Structures are given as structure tokens and as C-alpha cells.
């Protein structure tokens, strides 16, 4: 009978530990501090992440509007509103475009108008809508009233820009008119008398065009812009021929000063 040999039990290796140096201990402690800091940041930012996620889910539209089934996606042939355009003009274009759609009920119309309106907000306007109180918009009138109330300041800003646009001494009329037209764009239904007054006030005090506007007030802003072309052409024509004939005085509004030596010679000749 053969006796089975049992292999000897393996002995575990003997581990030899050495004491860490001071520098090594410092490195280990630094690593532990870094890990602890990362864990702290992750746990402390959790409420902020939760709040940010909740903010994206909240809606100024009421639950009633959100529960109404919408039409298939409507994309209007108008530009999105960014907060820079005339709010009344844009709202008029929006309403005209939306009237082409047909709805089964008043509620369906209100929900679709609100949803499509929001989808056409961009940049600052989208931020404005997102910051409206939750559940504060229950119909399209609520939304348009909030919209016009907020962006009515747009017209105030345009008026301020027009009245602070002034022609500097020596500035060509063409340059000033380009700046003024930029400031006066998107005046909406503002009466022409407002930008006309701003234009007259903004011109240089001895401008021939300013004199013309004062003596013969234009009926419309477009009329004033049309008249300005004649003065621009005249001014540029005079400047061209002045430079052609070597007369630089026409290109500068400041009187040309003679050098001190030249003035002395003139004084001596006058006394001789």
C-alpha cells in the first residue's frame, strides 16, 4: 500500500517593515489631505448641483398650460427675440405669424402661443423668461404683459442713446449721421418729433445742416436723412477741392496758427 505524500505547508513570507522618514510621512499626509479635500468638495457641492438641476426643471408656465397637448412643432419665419430688438414690432410679427395656425379650443391656443413664444426667445431674452417666478404665467396675456413691461426700457435706452449722440468739432457730417442712424434704429412707433429733436440738438452748433433743420423743420425723420445727403456731398466736395488746391483750412475747424517767427516778421513789417 502506497502512502500519499502530503506536501509540506508553505510558510508565509516574512515581511520586513522599515520606518518611514519624515519627508515620506509628510508626502503621505499631503496626499491624504488632498483626498479629503476632494471628498469634501464633492459632498458640499451636491446641494448646489441639486438646486441647479431643479432650476432647469422649474417653469414660469402653470401646470395647466404644461399639461395641454401641443400641436406639432411650429417654427415661425421670424428671427428669435434677443432683447435688442423693438419689443412691440417683434410681438406684432409674432402674432401675425401665429394667426395662421388653427386650434380646437381656447386653452389649446393659449398653450401653443406661450410655448412657441418661449421657443423664440434667445440670449438675454431667454434668461429673462427663465427668471420669471415659477407658475406665474397662466395665459398668453400674462406672458405678453410681462414681456412688454420688462422690455419697455428698450425704448428708453434708444431715446437716451439718441440724445447723447453728438457731433464733435471737426467731425465730418457723414460720420456723425452714420452714428446717429445707428443710435436711432428700432424706434418702433416713437413719433418722428423725438429723433428729429435729438438730431438737431446733436449737430455741431454752427452746422449749416443744423441751421437748415431749424429754419425749415422736416416733416419726417426720413426727410431729414434725405436732406443730410446734400450737405454731406457739399462738405465732401469742398474738402476735395480745398485739398486739391492746397488749402488745408477747409479740412480743419480750428484756425491755423502762424509760427511765432512768422508773426514777428508780420508785426515788424506793419510798424515799418
CA neighbor of 134 nearest in space, from 55, 59, 50, 54: 59
181 within 8 A of 162, measured Cβ to Cβ: no
User: Cα-Cα-Cα-Cα dihedral of 214, 219, 225, 226, to 10°?
Assistant: -110
183 CB-contact burial (10 Å; exposed 0-12 / middle 13-18 / buried 19+): buried
137 is written with which cell numbers?
Answer: 404665467
81 is written with which cell numbers?
Answer: 427675440
pLDDT value of residue 3:
56
Give the integer Cα–Cα distance in Å for 114 and 109: 9
pLDDT value of residue 156:
79
Sequential pLDDT tens for the chain (272 residues)? 555 555 555 555 554 545 556 666 566 666 666 666 665 555 445 455 444 444 445 789 999 999 988 777 667 889 999 988 888 889 999 999 998 888 888 899 999 999 999 999 999 999 999 999 999 999 999 999 999 988 887 777 788 899 999 999 999 999 999 999 999 887 776 888 899 999 999 999 999 999 999 999 999 999 999 999 999 999 999 999 888 887 655 444 443 444 445 444 544 544 44
pLDDT value of residue 191:
82
Give the CB-side neighbour count of residue 76, counting CA atoms within 13 A. Answer: 25
Amino acid at each position: 500500500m502506497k502512502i500519499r505524500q502530503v506536501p509540506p505547508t508553505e510558510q508565509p513570507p516574512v515581511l520586513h517593515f522599515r520606518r518611514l522618514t519624515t519627508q515620506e510621512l509628510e508626502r503621505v499626509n499631503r496626499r491624504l489631505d488632498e483626498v479629503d479635500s476632494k471628498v469634501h468638495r464633492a459632498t458640499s457641492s451636491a446641494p448646489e448641483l441639486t438646486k441647479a438641476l431643479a432650476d432647469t426643471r422649474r417653469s414660469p408656465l402653470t401646470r395647466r398650460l404644461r399639461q395641454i397637448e401641443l400641436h406639432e412643432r411650429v417654427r415661425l419665419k421670424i428671427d428669435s427675440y434677443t432683447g435688442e430688438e423693438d419689443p412691440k414690432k417683434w410681438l406684432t410679427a409674432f402674432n401675425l405669424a401665429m394667426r395662421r395656425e388653427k386650434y380646437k379650443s381656447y386653452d389649446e391656443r393659449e398653450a401653443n402661443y406661450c410655448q412657441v413664444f418661449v421657443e423664440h426667445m434667445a440670449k438675454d431674452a431667454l434668461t429673462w423668461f427663465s427668471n420669471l417666478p415659477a407658475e406665474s404665467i397662466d395665459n398668453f396675456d400674462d406672458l405678453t404683459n410681462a414681456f412688454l413691461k420688462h422690455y419697455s426700457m428698450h425704448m428708453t435706452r434708444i431715446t437716451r442713446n439718441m440724445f447723447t449722440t453728438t457731433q464733435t468739432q471737426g467731425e465730418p457730417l457723414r460720420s456723425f449721421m452714420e452714428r446717429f442712424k445707428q443710435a436711432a434704429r428700432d424706434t418702433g412707433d416713437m413719433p418722428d418729433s423725438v429723433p428729429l429733436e435729438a438730431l438737431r440738438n446733436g449737430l455741431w452748433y454752427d452746422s449749416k445742416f443744423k441751421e437748415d433743420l431749424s429754419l425749415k423743420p422736416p416733416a419726417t425723420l426720413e426727410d431729414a436723412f434725405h436732406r443730410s445727403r446734400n450737405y454731406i456731398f457739399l462738405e465732401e466736395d469742398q474738402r476735395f477741392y480745398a485739398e486739391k488746391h492746397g488749402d488745408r483750412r477747409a479740412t480743419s475747424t480750428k484756425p491755423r496758427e502762424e509760427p511765432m517767427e512768422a508773426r514777428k516778421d508780420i508785426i515788424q513789417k506793419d510798424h515799418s
